[in-house]
Chain A
Amino acid sequence: MSRISHNGQLFFSFFKSLVGKEIIVELKSDLCIKGTLHSVDQYLNIKLKDISVVDSEKFPHMISVQNCFIRGSVVRYVQLPSAEVDIQLLQDSARVEARELKKK
Protein backbone atom coordinates (compact mmCIF):
# COMPACT_ATOMS: atom_id res chain seq x y z
CA MET A 1 0.00 0.00 0.00
CA SER A 2 1.90 3.05 -1.19
CA ARG A 3 -0.73 5.63 -1.90
CA ILE A 4 -4.44 5.90 -1.20
CA SER A 5 -6.62 7.90 -3.56
CA HIS A 6 -9.05 10.19 -1.78
CA ASN A 7 -12.07 10.97 -3.87
CA GLY A 8 -14.49 10.66 -0.99
CA GLN A 9 -14.08 6.88 -0.90
CA LEU A 10 -11.03 6.48 1.28
CA PHE A 11 -12.11 3.31 3.05
CA PHE A 12 -13.28 1.70 -0.18
CA SER A 13 -9.75 2.21 -1.55
CA PHE A 14 -8.27 1.07 1.73
CA PHE A 15 -10.20 -2.21 1.71
CA LYS A 16 -9.29 -2.76 -1.95
CA SER A 17 -5.64 -2.64 -0.91
CA LEU A 18 -6.32 -5.54 1.48
CA VAL A 19 -7.70 -7.94 -1.14
CA GLY A 20 -6.15 -11.39 -0.70
CA LYS A 21 -5.44 -10.91 3.00
CA GLU A 22 -7.10 -12.84 5.80
CA ILE A 23 -9.58 -10.81 7.83
CA ILE A 24 -12.25 -11.41 10.46
CA VAL A 25 -15.59 -9.70 9.95
CA GLU A 26 -17.77 -9.22 13.02
CA LEU A 27 -21.43 -8.76 12.19
CA LYS A 28 -23.97 -6.71 14.11
CA SER A 29 -25.46 -10.04 15.16
CA ASP A 30 -22.20 -10.86 17.03
CA LEU A 31 -21.31 -13.56 14.47
CA CYS A 32 -17.61 -13.53 13.50
CA ILE A 33 -16.60 -14.82 10.07
CA LYS A 34 -12.95 -15.39 9.19
CA GLY A 35 -11.88 -15.58 5.57
CA THR A 36 -9.71 -14.28 2.75
CA LEU A 37 -10.90 -10.93 1.38
CA HIS A 38 -11.94 -11.54 -2.23
CA SER A 39 -13.51 -8.21 -3.11
CA VAL A 40 -15.22 -5.14 -1.76
CA ASP A 41 -17.59 -2.66 -3.39
CA GLN A 42 -18.66 0.97 -2.91
CA TYR A 43 -21.16 0.02 -0.17
CA LEU A 44 -18.37 -1.85 1.63
CA ASN A 45 -20.17 -5.10 0.92
CA ILE A 46 -17.52 -7.78 1.41
CA LYS A 47 -16.88 -11.04 -0.41
CA LEU A 48 -14.86 -13.65 1.47
CA LYS A 49 -13.29 -16.92 0.33
CA ASP A 50 -12.44 -20.02 2.39
CA ILE A 51 -14.54 -18.86 5.31
CA SER A 52 -14.95 -20.29 8.77
CA VAL A 53 -17.17 -19.09 11.58
CA VAL A 54 -15.04 -18.23 14.61
CA ASP A 55 -17.34 -19.99 17.11
CA SER A 56 -18.51 -22.81 14.80
CA GLU A 57 -19.38 -25.13 17.70
CA LYS A 58 -22.02 -22.66 18.80
CA PHE A 59 -23.02 -21.50 15.30
CA PRO A 60 -22.74 -24.36 12.77
CA HIS A 61 -24.94 -22.50 10.26
CA MET A 62 -22.25 -21.93 7.66
CA ILE A 63 -20.27 -25.20 7.80
CA SER A 64 -21.05 -26.13 4.20
CA VAL A 65 -20.31 -22.64 2.89
CA GLN A 66 -16.85 -21.69 1.61
CA ASN A 67 -17.45 -18.42 -0.21
CA CYS A 68 -19.82 -15.75 0.98
CA PHE A 69 -21.06 -12.21 0.48
CA ILE A 70 -21.61 -9.98 3.50
CA ARG A 71 -23.88 -6.96 3.21
CA GLY A 72 -21.97 -3.83 4.24
CA SER A 73 -24.84 -2.58 6.39
CA VAL A 74 -24.54 -5.49 8.87
CA VAL A 75 -20.78 -5.22 9.47
CA ARG A 76 -19.79 -4.00 12.94
CA TYR A 77 -16.02 -4.49 12.88
CA VAL A 78 -13.39 -5.75 10.50
CA GLN A 79 -10.30 -7.19 12.16
CA LEU A 80 -7.26 -6.53 9.97
CA PRO A 81 -3.76 -7.98 9.83
CA SER A 82 -1.79 -5.19 11.52
CA ALA A 83 1.33 -5.83 9.43
CA GLU A 84 -0.59 -4.91 6.28
CA VAL A 85 -1.89 -1.56 7.50
CA ASP A 86 0.10 1.67 7.39
CA ILE A 87 -1.71 3.49 10.17
CA GLN A 88 0.20 6.76 9.64
CA LEU A 89 -0.70 6.83 5.96
CA LEU A 90 -4.33 5.99 6.72
CA GLN A 91 -4.58 8.76 9.29
CA ASP A 92 -3.00 11.30 6.95
CA SER A 93 -5.33 10.24 4.14
CA ALA A 94 -8.34 10.54 6.45
CA ARG A 95 -7.26 14.09 7.37
CA VAL A 96 -6.78 15.07 3.73
CA GLU A 97 -10.20 13.66 2.83
CA ALA A 98 -11.89 15.45 5.73
CA ARG A 99 -10.26 18.72 4.63
CA GLU A 100 -11.39 18.24 1.04
CA LEU A 101 -14.94 17.45 2.11
CA LYS A 102 -14.98 20.59 4.25
CA LYS A 103 -14.00 22.72 1.25
CA LYS A 104 -16.98 21.53 -0.82
Chain B
Amino acid sequence: MATLMEPFIDILTNDGRNIVGTLRGFDQLVNIILEESHERVYSSDGVERLHLGLCIIRGDNVAVVGLLDLDLDKRIDFSTLKGEPLKPVVH
Protein backbone atom coordinates (compact mmCIF):
# COMPACT_ATOMS: atom_id res chain seq x y z
CA MET B 1 0.00 0.00 0.00
CA ALA B 2 2.84 2.37 0.85
CA THR B 3 4.13 2.25 -2.72
CA LEU B 4 0.72 3.36 -3.97
CA MET B 5 0.98 6.53 -1.92
CA GLU B 6 4.32 7.64 -3.34
CA PRO B 7 4.06 10.71 -5.53
CA PHE B 8 5.01 10.10 -9.11
CA ILE B 9 6.50 13.28 -10.49
CA ASP B 10 7.08 14.72 -13.95
CA ILE B 11 9.83 17.36 -14.15
CA LEU B 12 10.60 19.76 -16.98
CA THR B 13 14.13 21.11 -16.66
CA ASN B 14 15.58 24.38 -17.92
CA ASP B 15 17.44 22.61 -20.72
CA GLY B 16 14.18 21.14 -22.01
CA ARG B 17 14.43 17.61 -20.62
CA ASN B 18 11.47 15.70 -19.26
CA ILE B 19 12.33 13.47 -16.30
CA VAL B 20 9.81 11.20 -14.59
CA GLY B 21 10.29 9.38 -11.29
CA THR B 22 9.26 8.85 -7.69
CA LEU B 23 9.73 11.90 -5.48
CA ARG B 24 12.02 11.04 -2.57
CA GLY B 25 12.79 14.51 -1.28
CA PHE B 26 12.93 18.21 -1.99
CA ASP B 27 13.86 21.46 -0.27
CA GLN B 28 13.16 25.18 -0.35
CA LEU B 29 15.37 25.71 -3.40
CA VAL B 30 13.38 23.03 -5.25
CA ASN B 31 16.38 20.68 -5.31
CA ILE B 32 14.74 17.34 -6.00
CA ILE B 33 15.62 13.70 -5.32
CA LEU B 34 14.06 11.20 -7.69
CA GLU B 35 14.19 7.42 -7.44
CA GLU B 36 13.61 4.95 -10.26
CA SER B 37 13.61 7.82 -12.68
CA HIS B 38 13.73 7.85 -16.45
CA GLU B 39 13.96 10.54 -19.08
CA ARG B 40 11.38 10.79 -21.84
CA VAL B 41 12.94 12.07 -25.03
CA TYR B 42 10.32 13.52 -27.39
CA SER B 43 10.94 13.85 -31.10
CA SER B 44 9.03 13.67 -34.36
CA ASP B 45 9.93 9.95 -34.47
CA GLY B 46 8.23 9.17 -31.16
CA VAL B 47 9.13 8.98 -27.49
CA GLU B 48 12.25 7.26 -26.25
CA ARG B 49 12.80 6.29 -22.62
CA LEU B 50 16.22 6.52 -21.05
CA HIS B 51 16.75 4.85 -17.70
CA LEU B 52 18.35 7.15 -15.10
CA GLY B 53 17.73 5.50 -11.72
CA LEU B 54 18.39 7.60 -8.61
CA CYS B 55 19.17 11.23 -9.30
CA ILE B 56 19.31 14.65 -7.69
CA ILE B 57 18.22 17.63 -9.75
CA ARG B 58 19.50 21.02 -8.65
CA GLY B 59 16.69 23.52 -8.08
CA ASP B 60 18.21 26.10 -10.43
CA ASN B 61 17.60 23.71 -13.27
CA VAL B 62 13.96 22.87 -12.49
CA ALA B 63 11.25 24.67 -14.48
CA VAL B 64 8.05 22.73 -13.79
CA VAL B 65 7.16 19.95 -11.37
CA GLY B 66 3.96 18.10 -12.21
CA LEU B 67 2.07 15.47 -10.24
CA LEU B 68 1.72 12.55 -12.64
CA ASP B 69 -1.65 10.80 -12.75
CA LEU B 70 -0.56 7.15 -12.97
CA ASP B 71 -3.89 5.90 -14.37
CA LEU B 72 -3.82 8.52 -17.10
CA ASP B 73 -0.16 7.82 -17.78
CA LYS B 74 -0.73 4.06 -18.17
CA ARG B 75 -3.41 4.70 -20.78
CA ILE B 76 -1.06 6.68 -23.01
CA ASP B 77 0.45 4.77 -25.89
CA PHE B 78 3.97 6.17 -26.00
CA SER B 79 4.85 4.08 -29.05
CA THR B 80 2.61 6.24 -31.24
CA LEU B 81 2.96 9.54 -29.35
CA LYS B 82 4.93 12.20 -31.16
CA GLY B 83 6.02 15.61 -29.97
CA GLU B 84 8.60 18.27 -30.48
CA PRO B 85 11.45 18.61 -28.00
CA LEU B 86 10.96 21.49 -25.56
CA LYS B 87 13.06 24.57 -26.04
CA PRO B 88 15.56 25.40 -23.32
CA VAL B 89 14.75 28.23 -20.90
CA VAL B 90 16.37 31.50 -21.99
CA HIS B 91 16.65 34.02 -19.12
Contact = CB atoms under 8 A, between A and B. Distances in A.
Interface in A10-51: 27-31, 33, 45, 51
Interface residues of A, number: 24
B5 interface: no
B76 to A, nearest CB: 6
Contacts of B33: none
Interface size class of B (residues with CB under 8 A): 20 to 34
Contact of A64 (B60, B76, B84): B76
A66 B81 contact: no
B86 A59 contact: yes
B63 A27 contact: yes
Contact of A33 (B64, B70, B91): B64
A69 B16 CA distance: 16
Interface of B: 10, 12, 14, 16, 18, 30, 40, 42, 59-60, 62-70, 72-73, 76, 81-84, 86-91
